[in-house]
Structure 1
Amino acid sequence: MSELTDTQIRILELAAARNDALAMPLPKGLHGAAAKKAVTRIMELGFLEEVDANITRGETLWRETGDGHGLTLIATEAGLAAVELSPAEIRTRLDRRNPEPLETGPSVPRAGTKQAGLIEMLSAPGGATIAEISEATGWQAHSVRGAISGTLRKKLGLTVEATAEPERGRVYRIAGS
Structure 2
Amino acid sequence: MTKLSETQSLILTAGAQRPDNLALPLPKGLAGAAAKMAVGKMIDRGWLQEVEANLRRGEPLWRETGDGHGTTLIVTDAGLLAVGIEPAVVQTIAVIRERAKTEPEAETKAPTLRAGTKQAQLIAMLQRPEGATMDEITAALSWLPHTARGAMSGALGKKLGLVVTSTKDDTRGRIYRINSAV
**Structure with greater helix percent:** 2
Q: How does 1:122-141 map to 2 (within 5 A)?
A: none
Structure 1 residue aligned with 2:89: 89
Q: How does 1:13-162 map to 2 (within 5 A)?
A: 13-92=13-92, 98=98
Q: Which amino acid aligns with 1:45?
A: R
**1:89 CA displacement:** 1.5
Superposition TM-score, scaled by structure 1 size:
0.51
Q: Cα distance 1:38–1:86, how it changes in 2: closer, same or farther (>3 A)? A: same
Corresponding residue pairs, total: 100
Q: Which amino acid aligns with 1:46?
A: G
Q: Indicate the SS of the match to 2:20.
A: coil
Q: Is the 8 A contact 2:2 2:82 kept in 1?
A: no
Tell me which of the two structures has the higher relative contact order, counting C-alpha pairs closer than 8 angstroms and 6 or more residues apart. Answer: 1
**1:100 CA displacement:** 8.1
Supply the distance in 2 between the matched residues of 1:58 and 1:86 (Cα, whole angstroms): 27
Q: How does 1:1-12 map to 2 (within 5 A)?
A: 1-12=1-12
Across the aligned residues of Structure 1 and Structure 2, the Cα RMSD in angstroms comes to 2.6
Supply the distance in 2 between the matched residues of 1:38 and 1:90 (Cα, whole angstroms): 23
Supply the distance in 1 between the matched residues of 2:99 and 2:49 (Cα, whole angstroms): 20
Q: Cα distance 1:98–1:45, how it changes in 2: closer, same or farther (>3 A)? A: farther
Supply the distance in 1 between the matched residues of 2:26 and 2:99 (Cα, whole angstroms): 20
Supply the distance in 2 between the matched residues of 1:65 and 1:98 (Cα, whole angstroms): 30
Q: Is the 8 A contact 1:19 1:92 kept in 2?
A: no
Q: Indicate the SS of the match to 2:61.
A: coil
Q: Indicate the SS of the match to 2:73.
A: strand
Q: Indicate the SS of the match to 2:84.
A: coil
Structure 1 residue aligned with 2:114: none
Superposition TM-score, scaled by structure 2 size:
0.49
**1:93 CA displacement:** 6.5
Runs of 4+ in 1 over 2 A off after TM superposition: 1-4, 90-95, 97-101
- Percent of residue pairs bearing the same amino acid type: 56
Supply the distance in 1 between the matched residues of 2:23 and 2:50 (Cα, whole angstroms): 10
Q: Indicate the SS of the match to 1:20.
A: helix
Q: Which amino acid aligns with 2:45?
A: L
What whole-Å deviation, never above 9, does each CA across 1:29-58 have from its counterpart, x for those lacking one?
111011011101111110000000000111
Q: Is the 8 A contact 1:81 1:90 kept in 2?
A: no
